Structure 1
């Protein structure tokens, strides 16, 4: 349990470095080439990029908020970018219902963020996870939609210190229980 606590402290430092990288990425003004395949390197996340969506193949409406904080449905298009390949996920804006926009594709400029379907801890542990896809949140929404809020690097969870404290408390509780059990056994 102590080793797990120490590991969480190490993860805390790694996560702080990752958040610092994301913050640097957000401050960069130059466009990067959108990554072709998953797994998207951390150096691309929260950077500005552009893609050409030849056509939306599938729509995936999900709950979200616009840049003013108003709730709605994010219209995420799984776009075809060529004759084959995985394509690209593009958040083209927030709508008030599940009805996809009449958007047919085109050049989209925006911010690269982690996609909506990230593998779970159990999928990663079992080795059954697919590489996470990134998503481009469009700077300019499709006609009839509001611009989606871009997540901030500052919202990246870093609760490793709390986990470390938890493991150290478990170790202390186990030590106290062991001490009480030994003391009880040694009594005549």
Structure 2
């Protein structure tokens, strides 16, 4: 009967300990993400608007209603988006210099065509703060259709499945090592 090798056993145990600790960490992240999503859900229904400052907005203000004044449009672009009826298309955007300094990305509205000419050169914008951060105009601007409003329920919360994966990796490592030790005998 051969002895159990020390160094490989220690390496496997260290790897298993790391995998289990990563699984536990993901369970803690699950609680944090649930609290964050609850905060965002409450922010979404808070009717009190916030101001978009020259310094921008913090993540605590995501999904709140906000207002800013676009003093000058410095760039236009588009990104994939959905309209209020959940149809895919293009969200038309404008990079704005805002009163008091600073910049803001404003999602002006939705169209089917990415080359849609948008007739909007700045002004007061009211909407919902989306991750990025960006302000999704509501009502839409420049003759565009309404975008789908940002919804925190679209943020994935898959930390539980990640934790299960790490625990399964640890179990798999132990099983493979035990099989390897048995074959060695």
Normalised TM-score (structure 1): 0.83
Q: Indicate the residue corresponding to 2:125 in structure 1.
A: 108
> 2:105 touches 2:134 (CA, 8 Å); kept in 1?
yes
Matched residues, number: 166
Structure with the largest fraction of helix: 2
Cα RMSD after superposing both structures: 1.5
Unmatched 5+ stretches in structure 1 = 116-133
Is 1:59 the counterpart of 2:76 in the alignment? yes
Q: Indicate the residue corresponding to 2:109 in structure 1.
A: 93
The offset of 1:84, in angstroms, is 4.7
Identify the match of residue 27 of structure 2 among 2, 6, 9.
9
Is 1:44 the counterpart of 2:61 in the alignment? yes
Q: Indicate the residue corresponding to 2:9 in structure 1.
A: none
Larger of the two Rg values belongs to structure: 2
Q: 2:124 is paired with a residue of what secondary structure?
A: strand
Q: 1:19 is paired with a residue of what secondary structure?
A: helix
Q: 1:55 is paired with a residue of what secondary structure?
A: strand
d(CA) in 2 for partners of 1:35, 1:21: 21
Unmatched 5+ stretches in structure 2 = 1-18
